[in-house]
């Protein structure tokens, strides 16, 4: 990643191999973007009552419940998925009460924490999620060129080692979606599972709490002027969405195979069992190469026509960073 | 269908450790019992619309137009289709709390909660509860987010259900198979299975609501197949030997610690989480608060189950506690004409 001449790339100036970035002063922690993903709801409510654990020098850190109506009813969403609602079209639409609740909510969040894409937007937003999939701790990255986020993720992975925290990169032009965190300059998704919707598991809650502690520590160190040298980060890049086999009426006719169930991040080779019909017949994976599946059997994705996602392993290079 | 009812059909079984019974001789001395044949079985799913195993087992049976198993009439029933459609536990009211005598006989109008009306419909179709026309056996399929393996849940442990429990325990080895008894008089018994002459729920977990796991589906389907197999063998004249079996009897429910505004302040302790049916002793941890304090169990040694069941948060239940009882049962066979 070393560059011999200084040059400027959209807000980032490169001197040698260290990018000078503006301080990360305005930080938000979103919980309840999906109202039945309980770890984020519990953590954010805890920090709203008593924010001592999330204070850090040099940053204003705001815990915030993004979808209070969904949290109240303990459902994923009321009218439409808030975590798909931050499209340019929705955010720039004018009008009011006739819009779905989550679209109006997205506009409000964009006013409070954005506007998305502008210099006034929040520097960092952490969006807390749970999944029914056996994904462990997963950090979700939306851009392979976000060196700040890459360095943060590298820091977190090292801090929790030997426990693991994998990075999912969703930069796919068709499969990426407009998340609530995308309002910020540096959006960070935090997905911890497996946990059923509507259930609060102590181990999952604690894992999420620890990851956030390290993330905020990183921000404090960065704001105090620490230099983070260039590094590499292993990521899993979203490749494809695989749906359940369905009949002509759209009904599911097979289930994730027991051999694939719970095997998020483990290699899936061509010919490996993928689905099992109700009668016990195996349907194998017929891709052309080994992939790394994730979001295997996520409850919320049945209606989005997704049994699991395939990813490819990749190593990204992050330039060194330092506060400007 | 044979209308003959022996006096043994409705008799609650006698626990081996009951104070009026001599433990040492009871299990080998029980007299053989003859029971009426069973001809109609209902297999129910979707009583909670987001408990996917039952939904898909019933849908598959309906797709294949299953009407019989040998000489047995089998009716697959999707009990709460509206809740299934929206993949929620219920739309207005928990259907599986609507089968008390009082609710089944209460007058309902079109504006009454959907599930109240549906319960009365199901009672007419498969019952009536306590009546001669009721199906001989009603099996209701459920899932739980708790790590309970496979449980048969009964109100009254009659000889047939004890034999079925033993039959399943002998033939299913992939998960533990247990029985839970709810000691509630029939008039107050509130769940669907009481509509049949014999009835029990098959509860399988752990599975998140809204998720269909193949391993859970496979074991539940096996349990349904074994139930039908057992009844056909019974009807065909086979004698099933008596014996002993353990069951867990519900004692009480425990709620989460809450603050003054009713918000939960702790989660199930990691040492209790997923340890359904492991004996809880005084001093064992129950909850871990968000601020790091441990709440411990005090009092009688009991067996916890339904630990961290999603649907029970709103019912103010973190887990339930049971005593373990050993039951003796006699050999049974079908009545000869």
Is B233 within the bounds of a domain? Answer: yes
Percent of chain A whose pLDDT exceeds 70: 95
Indicate if the pLDDT at residue B27 is higher than 70. Answer: no
Is B68 within the bounds of a domain? Answer: yes
> Which three-class secondary structure string do you get for B238-264?
CCECCEEEEEEEEEEEECCCECCCCCE
Residues B55, B210: Cα–Cα separation, whole Å:
10
Distance from CA of B142 to the nearest CA of A (A): 16
For residue B101, what pLDDT is reported?
97
For residue B28, what pLDDT is reported?
53
- Residue with more model confidence, B110 or B239: B239
Q: Which residues of A fall within a CB distance of 8 Å from B215?
A: 258, 261
Q: Is B297 marked within a binding site?
A: no
Considering the entire predicted model, what is its pTM? 0.92
Residue of A nearest to B207 (CA): A196
Q: Three-state DSSP class for A247? A: coil
Is B5 within the bounds of a domain? Answer: no
For residue B4, what pLDDT is reported?
34
B214 contact A CB<8A: yes
B263 contact A CB<8A: yes
Q: Is A191 marked within a binding site?
A: yes
B15 — pLDDT class (breaks 50, 70, 90):
low
For residue B25, what pLDDT is reported?
44
Q: Residue A108 CB: number of other CB atoms within 10 A?
A: 11
Residues B45, A69: Cα–Cα separation, whole Å:
30
Size of interface A-B (CB pairs under 8 A): 84
Q: Is B69 exposed, middle or buried (0-12, 13-18, 19+ CB in 10 A)?
A: middle
Indicate if the pLDDT at residue B8 is higher than 70. Answer: no
Is B299 within the bounds of a domain? Answer: no
User: For the CA atoms of B267, B272, B277, B282, what is the dihedral angle to 10 degrees?
Assistant: -110
B146, B285, B290, best to mutate vs chain A, most A CBs in 10 Å: B290
Residues A56, A194: Cα–Cα separation, whole Å:
30
A248 contact B CB<8A: no
Among candidates A194, A198, A278 on the partner chain, residue whose Cβ is nearest the Cβ of B60: A278
Indicate if the pLDDT at residue A57 is higher than 90. Answer: yes
Q: Which CATH number belongs to the domain containing residue B127 in this structure?
A: 3.40.630.10
For residue A274, what pLDDT is reported?
98
Question: Which tens digits make up the pLDDT trace of A39-49?
Answer: 999 999 999 99
Q: Name the CATH superfamily for A9-236+317-323.
A: Zn peptidases (3.40.630.10)
Token pair of B164 as six digits = 């079925």
Q: Which residues of B fall within a CB distance of 8 Å from A194?
A: 208
Q: Which residues of B fall within a CB distance of 8 Å from A256?
A: 213-214
Question: Which tens digits make up the pLDDT trace of A167-195?
Answer: 999 998 888 889 999 999 999 999 999 99
Is B171 within the bounds of a domain? Answer: yes
| Complex-level ipTM | 0.93
A249 contact B CB<8A: no
Q: Which residues span the domain enclosing B237?
A: 35-247+326-334
Query: Residue B69 to residues B30, B44, B147, B172: CA-CA distances in angstroms?
Result: 31, 16, 31, 20
Indicate if the pLDDT at residue B19 is higher than 70. Answer: no
Query: Residue A254 to residues A102, A144, A284: CA-CA distances in angstroms?
Result: 32, 35, 12
**CA A121 centroid distance within chain:** 18
- Per the structure, how many domains does chain B have? 1
Indicate if the pLDDT at residue B2 is higher than 50. Answer: no
Is B320 within the bounds of a domain? Answer: no
Residues B150, B127: Cα–Cα separation, whole Å:
26
The set of residues, in sequence order, having a beta carbon less than 8 Å from that of B260 and lying 6+ positions away, is: none
For residue B30, what pLDDT is reported?
87
- DSSP code per residue over A184-236: SSEEEEEEEES--TT---HHHHHHHHHHHHHHHHHHHHHHTT--B--EEEEEE
Is B110 within the bounds of a domain? Answer: yes
Indicate if the pLDDT at residue A59 is higher than 70. Answer: yes
Residue of B nearest to A261 (CA): B213
Among candidates A196, A251, A280 on the partner chain, residue whose Cβ is nearest the Cβ of B145: A196
- With CA atoms as reference, report the closest residue to A37 among B310, B288, B205, B254: B310
A297 — pLDDT class (breaks 50, 70, 90):
very high
Which residue of the set A191, A234, A240, A303 is catalytic? A191
The set of residues, in sequence order, having a beta carbon less than 8 Å from that of B192 and lying 6+ positions away, is: B44, B47, B79, B95, B96, B99, B119, B122, B138, B140, B199, B201
Q: Which residues of A fall within a CB distance of 8 Å from B218?
A: 258, 280
Question: Which tens digits make up the pLDDT trace of A98-140?
Answer: 999 999 999 999 999 999 999 999 999 999 999 999 999 999 9
Token pair of A97 as six digits = 């009460």
Contact A196 B269 (CB under 8 A): no
Is B49 within the bounds of a domain? Answer: yes
* B203 annotated active-site: yes
Indicate if the pLDDT at residue A198 is higher than 90. Answer: yes
Residues B87, B209: Cα–Cα separation, whole Å:
9
- Could you give the residue ranges of the DSSP H alpha helices within chain B? 23-29, 52-63, 81-85, 101-105, 114-126, 159-171, 214-235
């Amino acid at each position: 990643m070393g560059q011999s001449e200084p040059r400027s790339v959209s807000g980032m100036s490169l001197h040698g191999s260290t990018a000078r970035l503006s301080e990360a002063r305005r930080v938000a922690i979103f919980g309840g973007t999906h109202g039945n993903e309980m770890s984020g709801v519990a953590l954010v409510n805890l920090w709203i009552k008593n924010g001592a654990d999330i204070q850090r020098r040099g940053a204003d850190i705001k815990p915030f419940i993004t979808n209070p109506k969904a949290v109240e009813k303990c459902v994923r969403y009321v009218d439409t998925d808030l975590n798909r609602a931050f499209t340019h079209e929705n955010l720039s639409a004018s009008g009011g009460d006739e819009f779905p609740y989550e679209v109006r909510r997205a506009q409000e969040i964009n006013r409070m924490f954005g506007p998305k894409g502008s210099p006034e937007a929040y520097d960092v937003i952490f969006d807390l999620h749970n999944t029914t999939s056996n994904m462990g701790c997963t950090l979700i990255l939306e851009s392979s060129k976000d060196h700040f986020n890459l360095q943060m993720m590298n820091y977190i992975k090292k801090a929790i080692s030997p426990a693991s925290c994998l990075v999912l990169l969703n930069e796919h032009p068709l499969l990426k979606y407009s998340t609530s965190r995308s309002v910020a300059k540096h959006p960070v998704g935090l997905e911890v599972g497996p946990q059923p919707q509507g259930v609060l598991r102590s181990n999952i809650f604690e894992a999420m709490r620890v990851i956030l502690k390290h993330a905020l520590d990183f921000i404090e160190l960065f704001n105090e002027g620490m230099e983070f040298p260039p590094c590499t980060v292993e990521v899993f890049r979203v490749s494809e969405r695989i749906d359940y086999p369905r009949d002509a009426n759209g009904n599911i006719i097979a289930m994730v195979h027991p051999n694939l169930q719970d095997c998020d991040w483990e290699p899936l080779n061509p010919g490996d069992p993928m689905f099992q019909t109700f009668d016990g017949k195996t349907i194998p994976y017929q891709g052309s190469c080994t992939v790394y599946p994730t979001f295997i059997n996520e409850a919320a994705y049945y209606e989005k026509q997704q049994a699991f996602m395939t990813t490819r392993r990749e190593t990204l290079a992050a330039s060194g960073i330092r506060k400007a | 269908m044979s209308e003959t009812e022996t006096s043994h059909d409705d008799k609650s079984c006698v626990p081996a450790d009951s104070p009026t019974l001599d433990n040492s001789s009871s299990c080998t001395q029980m007299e053989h019992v003859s029971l009426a044949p069973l001809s109609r079985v209902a297999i129910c799913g979707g009583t909670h619309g987001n408990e996917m195993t039952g939904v898909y087992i019933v849908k598959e049976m309906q797709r294949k137009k299953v009407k019989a198993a040998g000489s047995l009439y089998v009716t697959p029933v999707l009990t709460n289709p509206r809740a299934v459609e929206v993949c929620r536990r219920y739309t207005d009211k928990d259907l599986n709390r609507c089968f008390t005598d009082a609710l089944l006989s209460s007058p309902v109008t079109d504006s009454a909660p959907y599930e109240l009306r549906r319960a009365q419909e199901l009672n007419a179709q498969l019952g009536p509860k306590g009546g001669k026309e009721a199906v001989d056996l009603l099996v209701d399929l459920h899932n739980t987010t708790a790590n309970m393996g496979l449980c048969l849940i009964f109100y009254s442990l009659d000889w047939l259900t004890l034999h079925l429990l033993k039959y399943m325990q002998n033939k299913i080895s992939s998960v533990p198979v247990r029985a839970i008894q709810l000691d509630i008089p029939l008039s107050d018994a509130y769940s669907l299975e009481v509509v049949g002459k014999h009835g029990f729920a098959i509860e399988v977990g752990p599975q998140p609501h809204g998720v269909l796991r193949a391993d859970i589906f496979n074991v539940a389907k096996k349990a349904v197949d074994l139930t039908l197999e057992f009844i056909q063998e019974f009807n065909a004249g086979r004698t099933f030997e008596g014996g002993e079996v353990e069951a867990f009897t519900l004692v009480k429910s425990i709620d989460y610690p809450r603050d003054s505004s009713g918000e939960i302040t702790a989660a199930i302790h990691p040492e209790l989480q997923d340890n359904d049916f492991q004996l809880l002793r005084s001093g064992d941890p129950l909850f871990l608060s968000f601020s790091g304090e441990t709440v411990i169990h005090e009092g009688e040694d009991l067996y916890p189950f339904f630990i961290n069941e999603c649907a029970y948060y709103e019912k103010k239940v973190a887990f339930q506690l049971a005593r373990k009882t050993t039951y003796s049962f006699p050999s049974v066979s079908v009545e000869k004409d």
